[in-house]
Structure 1
Amino acid sequence: MFSRVLAPLFDYFEARINPYPDGRVETPPKGLMAFLWHFSRPVWPMLLWMSLFTALVSATEVVFFNYMGELVDWLAGVERVGFWQAHGAALIGVGIAMLIGLPLLVLLQSLVTNQSIFGNYPMIGRWLSHRHMLGQSLAFYQDEFAGRVSQKVMQTALAIRETVTKVMDLLVYAIVYFTGAAILLIKADIWLALPLFVWLLGYLAIMRFFVPRLRNVSMAQANARAQMTGRVVDSYSNIQTIKLFADTRHEQNYAREAMEGFMTTVHGQMRLVTVLSVCLTLLNTLLLVGMAATVLVAWYTQVISLGVLAIAIALVMRVRFMSDWILWEVARLFENVGTVQDGMNTIANAPAVRDAPEAPTLAVPRGEIRFDALHFGYAEAGGAYKPVFDSLDLTIAPGEKVGLIGRSGAGKSTLANLLLRFYDLQGGAIRIDGQNIAEVTQTSLRHQIGMVTQDTSLLHRSLRDNIRYGSPDAGDDAVWDAVRQAHADGFINDLVDPEGRRGLDAHVGERGVKLSGGQRQRIAIARVLLKNAPILVLDEATSALDSEVEAAIQEQLEHLMQGKTVIAIAHRLSTIAMLDRLLVVDGGQIVEAGTHRELLAKNGIYARLWKHQSGGFIGLDAPDQASTDKGYLDPA
């Protein structure tokens, strides 16, 4: 009933802040204050309103204490018979003001704090951080635990809210309350304020000693917690490998090592907490005893009235309880500051690969690809680079189908990753139809390239969502057409997930673990068929398929490649022998180029690889052209 009455107010205040702000994705700044402000800008007006209402509530409490002291003096100095005539109207007025005014202030403070700020504020942090992390380069995620990154995004967003709201809430509440209490005591007798100011000096000394230490141990704890979570998530993500090698003991020790590191920080934190509790209790007891002795002496010598005595004792009791709350809130504040600083070290990293300012959209009317004087190497420890390509030049004509061949580590997949701009070059340029890919948006570049990789991972969503990932507006008819072309219709209708969802609605599990390697590969091929991009990259696209399915899909791949510029990488030479041109990559250079027959005639690296795969029967190396064109080469 009460919630229904307040529902319009709830709706109004919940809508005061947009938890999903739009605009260009920005890298958060590195400094603590700038980092906090980056995520606090949309909330700032409501934070000021929260502080105002907090100040009014605090001032109301102090005024009420003062009135209670006056009430004691009235009771002490007036006969019962004439009390209501003298003070009845004032008492009723104060009672009504407190019954209506204070709950109204608390309601407004709660609406601003709970409805506007508490839910929306951390979601802004999660949303902005997530958008930024999605733009991080591939190299970033190759060096990080996914679980550790996700936990830092979630933890840091909450810690930002707690840090900012606690600072504003504590400062306003403590300043207003302590100042009001000091004014009331000084107004009665300046000596009554002496125990309060002595206590304040001791309180600040305790904070100065303990808070930095709690902050440091909290930072270490946040990092240890993220490390522990990352290791646990890594184990769960690779559970098949763990079970395959039956090495759960090693995984237990791997996780326990991180857990022990986390527990070390917990023990250090709890030791500080114990000493802090004892010091604070001692200080508060000294305040209570000191103030009691002071007011009793002052009352006994008739310096103060009984009402002032009551105010002083009540205020001291309130300050005593408030000091516990403030100190623990300050301790938690610095714990949150430690979490924010730890998260900032991960979240505030600028992406290694960024769009140029005002980068245009890539247009691909023809599909020519040029690699001009390519220089690239992977970063190593100490800032050095392990070279992969040195002045590589290559031109792929519009609509040409090119196969890349070479030993593992020769740079074939790296070339495909550079084309997709997963990494930036150290020199040279890659141009598509004359446009430098470093000068166009990454999104438009990847929209124009379809890729099927050897290690196909799917999103833990429905099959429909996975297939439509590159073409979100595609209808079910188009999806089924791509499924049939990829020869995936034979198993999709039989799929059922634990929630009872079937066919295209069935969810495939994390990274697609509920499907076999061949099934995942066929879904990946269906996804690229549906995307229908003008440039196609096939990186061992049929490696996970059995021979029968590969032969059936080969025809669809040939259909898919029509009118497209194609780069195909394969270890099985039979899968690419029918392409227009084959390139042998070795040592970061193209050492051989030509058609299948031309390369066999050269009797070089390609011929040796072909001989090795064909079992040494060199007579099989020159099949008739018809079979070559259809891609049915099978040296076995």
Structure 2
Amino acid sequence: MFRFFENLIDPFRAHDETMPPATLLGFYWRYCRQVWPYLLALMAVGLVVSLIEISMLRYIGSIVDLLKATSPTQIMADYGPTFLWMGFVILIARPIAQVAHDLLNQQAIAPSFTNMIRWQTHHYVMRQSITFFANDFAGRIASKIVQTGPALRESVVQVIDALWFVTIFAGSALVIFWSADWRLAMPLIGWILAYVTTLVYFVPRIRDRATIMSEMRSLVTGRIVDSYTNVQTVKLFAHPDREDEYAKESLVQHTETFRSETRLITLMNATVSTLNGILVVGTGALAIWLWSMNDITLGAIALASGLAIRITNMSGWIMWVSIGIFEQMGTVQEGLETIARPYALLDKPDARDLVADKGEIRFDNVRFHYGKKGGIIEDLSFTIKPGEKVGLVGRSGAGKSTLVNLLLRFYDVESGQILIDGQNVSNVRQDSLRRQIGLVTQDTSLLHRSVRDNILYGMPNATEAEVVEATHQAHAAEFIGGLSDPHGRIGLDAHVGERGVKLSGGQRQRIAIARVLLKDAPILILDEATSALDSEVEAAIQESFFRLMAGKTVIAIAHRLSTIAAMDRLIVLDKGHIVETGSHEELLRQNGLYASLWRRQSGGFLDLDAA
């Protein structure tokens, strides 16, 4: 039975992959419409549960009147079927309805609907541009994904539950009171008006505080995660106190917002408690007065008093549910502001997969400024022939890494075009473009998974033998065999920690090199690929690089000029322009910028003649 309800909703169903609506109502409808039959079923069962609850209270008044109207010897003869029906409703119908409600809510909706929202929002956000993630805390973005799913689901379910209880109880109570004597309904009418006014005044204000609270909570999470992620830097500079202050600043804001919300909650609770006392006393006193005048029966007194007490008890529940609903809506509103953003980089509707048979790269009048007024890349043009090995040289900020980012289409050019084998990278699918390019960077970050998983990122369907061969080629096998983690996993199965923090910089870089070796893409980019390696290891890996570069188009960037001096051609950049081009020897003879940079360095350990 449990499995049947748990399988009603598939969290990973095919779904609309376009941008989620940026309006609160549209955002809710985007996900609720996918499970509307089950929400409708929950509403129907909730109606039955509410009707049964009000019937039970009605039975109390009926029993009092029945006992008064007959003798003990005749009670079962006269009203046996009535008592049997009451027993059936209480002992059988009520548990069945309640279990059906819980099965729909707890088994069908709660886990699957929640994770369906998380999965679909994560799927969309994961395809955002590099800029999107660079402009926010990773922890804050993750917090939005994780919090929005349960907040949306809980607010919808609470609205469904509260809707029937409020409608059925308040409506039935008014009808019952009015049918007994119209004057008996007056305290309830007055209470309803005062209660609604209280909610109308307080709940929107609490909702606004809740929205700010959600933002503050995400800010606290983001700052703490930022400190933990960069804990090595924190300890290196001995600044735990500084990080304490950084976190405390956000916690102070969170505390003040929290206090302003709890003040409103306390005031609302005090107001509702006062109104509840007036309702119980007023209804009870009026009922006794009407009975003393023979206008109502004892059963009506019992029913009116019971309903009044039940309504006041429920009023507290409704109050907290109302607060909860608006708090959850505030969380959803704050979450969608992060989630429902358009993609900065989109594949064109007619985009095709890139086919890189040769590997020719051509920059044609490319211009790019990162959205700034100052120039980064200005009308730059050059061609890298198939199989050619080219080194990019220049001072920091000259535009070397920017060219790589543009080639990978992490950003779109502002004008001009970049062609690979005659295909404009802006017109092909981004994933197909990046599958044709192998990249090793100076800032090597690994996934917090096993060494094997990190290497297999280069080619997920590679065999174990191919993985092992890649580790040997990258000179990583020698240290991988000695790795272990707290869970007893060793070697290739050992986990490397967040961003590979458990490995040294050189070890991380050799894992990254093994990953690219396994990928074996036709275009290879080495962006300070050996910056974290010592001279001996770099010399060994250079042998692997030369084998890897055979038959490939290569772009190499290195501040240590000795590591790229053996390239077929060097392109020297300065402020986004090409100022020199030629081989190492040719550029030294020109005695220009490259020669100046070379003289400033102490030389290198790479044997150029041997290379």
What TM-score bracket applies, with the shorter chain setting the length? over 0.9
Alpha-carbon distance in 2 for matches of 1:416, 1:285: 72
2: CA distance between counterparts of 1:478 and 1:264?
Answer: 57
Matching of residue 461 in structure 1 with residue 453 in structure 2: no
Query: Of residues 203, 216, 220 in structure 1, which corresponds to 2:212?
Result: 220
Shift of residue 386, structure 1, vs aligned partner? 4.3
* TM-fit CA distance, 1:429: 1.6
Tell me what 2:509 maps to.
Answer: 521
Of the structure 1 ranges 95-104 and 212-221, higher mean CA displacement relative to structure 2 is found in 95-104
Aligned to 2:472: 484
- Take 1:329 and 1:502, find their aligned partners in 2: how far apart are those partners? 50
Q: Deviations over 1:142-191 (max 9, x none)?
A: 11111111111111111111121112221122112221222222222222
Cα distance, 1:505 vs structure 2: 0.3
Check the 8 A contact 2:115/2:149 in 1, yes or no. yes
* Match in the other structure for 1:46: 38
Cα 1:546–1:46 shift into 2, 3 Å: same
1:539 aligned onto 2:531 = no
* Paired amino acid for 1:546: D
The aligned amino acid for 1:548 is E
**RMSD of equivalent CA atoms:** 1.6
The answer to which of 253-262 and 425-434 deviates more is: 425-434
In structure 2, relative to structure 1, the CA distance for the partners of 1:121 and 1:338 (3 Å cut) is same
Any idea what SS the aligned residue of 1:392 has?
strand
Q: Report the AA paired with residue 124 of structure 2.
A: H
Say how many residue pairs are matched: 611
1:144-159 paired onto structure 2 within 5 Å: 144-159=136-151
Deviation at 1:61, TM superposition (A): 1.5
Shift of 1:40: 2.3
Map Cα deviations across residues 259-296 of structure 1 (whole Å, 9 max, x no partner). 11110011111111111111010111111111112211
1:564 maps to 2:556? no
Contact 1:151/1:226 (<8 A) preserved? yes
Q: How far apart are 1:385 and its partner, in Å?
A: 4.5
Aligned match for 2:27, one of 17, 31, 35: 35
| Counterparts of 1:428 and 1:308, CA distance in 2 | 85
Q: Indicate yes or no: 2:133 matched with 1:141.
A: yes
- AA aligned opposite 2:348: A
Secondary structure at the aligned position of 2:599 is classed as helix
Rounded to whole Å, the distance in 2 between the matches of 1:113 and 1:23 is: 22
1:368 Cα shift? Answer: 1.2
Once the 2 structures are TM-superposed, how far is the Cα of residue 15 of structure 1 from its aligned partner? 0.2
Given that residues 13 and 112 in structure 1 are in contact (C-alpha distance below 8 angstroms), is that contact kept between their aligned partners in structure 2?
A: yes
In 2: Cα distance, 1:81 partner to 1:316 partner: 33
Q: Which amino acid letter does the alignment assign opposite residue 461 of structure 1?
A: R
Match of 1:470 among 437, 458, 461: 458
Cα drift, residue 215 of structure 1: 0.7
**Residue number in structure 1 paired with 2:608:** 628
Q: Which amino acid aligns with 2:404?
A: A
1:67 is aligned to 59
Which residue matches 1:634?
none
Name which of 8, 14, 18 aligns with 1:26. 18
* 1:301 alignment counterpart: 293
Aligned to 2:570: 582
CA separation in 2, counterparts of 1:294 and 1:310? 12
Q: CA deviation at 1:231?
A: 0.9
SS of alignment partner, residue 119 of structure 1:
helix
1:140 deviation in Å? 1.4
- Taking the aligned partners of 1:430 and 1:302, their CA distance within structure 2 comes to 94
Separation in 2, partners of 1:75, 1:373: 97
Mapped to 1, the partners of 2:421 and 2:188 lie a distance apart of 77
**Secondary structure of 2:526's partner?**
strand
Distance 1:161 1:397 in 2: 56
Residue aligned with 1:357, SS: coil
Q: Does 1:366 align with 2:329?
A: no
1:462 alignment partner AA: S
Matches of 2:259 and 2:472, distance apart in 1 = 60
For residue 387 of structure 1, give the secondary structure of its aligned residue in structure 2: coil
Residue 303 of structure 2 corresponds to residue 311 of structure 1: yes
Q: Percent identity, please.
A: 49
Deviation for aligned residue 1:556 = 0.7
- Secondary structure at the counterpart of residue 568 of structure 1: strand
- Residue 374 of structure 1 contacts residue 390 of structure 1 at CA under 8 Å; is this kept in 2? yes
**Residue in 1 that maps onto 2:109:** 117
| Equivalent residue number for residue 190 of structure 1 | 182
The AA in structure 2 aligned to 1:154 is V
Aligned residue identity for 1:516: S
1:538 CA displacement: 0.5
Say which of 359, 379, 384 aligns to 1:391.
379
Shift of 1:614: 4.2
Q: Does 1:269 pair with 2:266?
A: no
Structure 2 CA distance, aligned partners of 1:97 and 1:343? 43
Contact 1:373-1:392 at 8 Å conserved across structures = yes
Aligned with 2:409: secondary structure? coil
CA contact (8 A) 2:375 2:575 kept: no
Aligned to 1:239: 231
Match of 1:377 in 2: 369
SS for the counterpart of 1:201 is helix
1:473-531 CA distances to partner (integer Å, 9 max, x unpaired)? 11110001100000111111011111111100000111111111111111110000000
Q: Deviations over 1:377-409 (max 9, x none)?
A: 123xxxx55431121112111111111000001
The alpha carbon displacement at 1:344 in A equals 1.3
Query: Cα–Cα, structure 1 residues 358 and 310, in superposed 2: closer, same or farther, change >3 Å?
Result: farther
Whole-Å separation in 1 of the counterparts to 2:64 and 2:505: 83
Indicate whether 1:256 and 2:242 are aligned: no
In structure 1, C-alpha distance between the alignment counterparts of 2:15 and 2:183, rounded to whole Å: 58
CA distance in 1, matches of 2:229, 2:205: 36
Question: Normalization by structure 1: what TM-score?
Answer: 0.94
Matched residue type, 1:169: D
Whole-Å separation in 1 of the counterparts to 2:428 and 2:199: 53
1:558 offset after TM fit, Å? 0.8
- In the alignment, which of 69, 86, 101 is matched to residue 77 of structure 1? 69
1:163 — aligned with what? Answer: 155
Would the aligned equivalents of 1:50 and 1:112 in 2 still touch at CA under 8 Å? yes
Gaps of 5+ in 1: 1-8, 632-636
Tell me, yes or no, if structure 1 residue 423 matches structure 2 residue 415: no
Instruction: Tell me if structure 2 keeps the 8 A contact 1:420–1:446.
Output: yes
- AA of the residue aligned to 1:188: A
Q: Report the AA paired with residue 281 of structure 1.
A: S
Q: Deviations over 1:291-341 (max 9, x none)?
A: 112211221111111111111111111111111100111011111111111
- The residue number in structure 1 matching 2:317 is 325
Deviation at 1:135, TM superposition (A): 0.8
Equivalent of residue 118 in structure 2, options 114, 126, 142:
126
Are residues 358 and 330 of structure 1, via their aligned partners in 2, closer, same or farther at CA, if it must alter by over 3 Å?
farther
Report deviation, 1:23.
4.0
Give the equivalent residue in structure 2 for 1:58: 50
Q: 1:546-594, CA deviations, whole angstroms, 9 ceiling, x for partnerless residues? A: 1111111111101101111111101111111111111001111111111
Shift of 1:45: 1.3
Q: Matched residue of 1:566: which SS?
A: strand
1:292 corresponds to which of 274, 284, 294: 284
Quote the residue 2:598 is aligned against.
610
Contact 1:578 1:630 in 2 (8 A): no
Q: 1:340 maps to which residue?
A: 332
For 1:211-259, what per-residue CA distance to the aligned partner results, in whole angstroms no more than 9, with x for missing partners? Answer: 1110111111111111111111111111111111111111111111111
- Aligned CA distance change for structure 1 residues 322 and 17 (closer, same or farther; 3 Å): same
- Residue number in structure 2 paired with 1:597: 585
* Aligned-residue offset at 1:421: 1.0
CA contact (8 A) 2:438 2:520 kept: yes
Q: Is the 8 A contact 2:376 2:576 kept in 1?
A: yes
Q: Does 1:209 align with 2:201?
A: yes
Residue 100 in structure 1 maps to residue 80 in structure 2? no
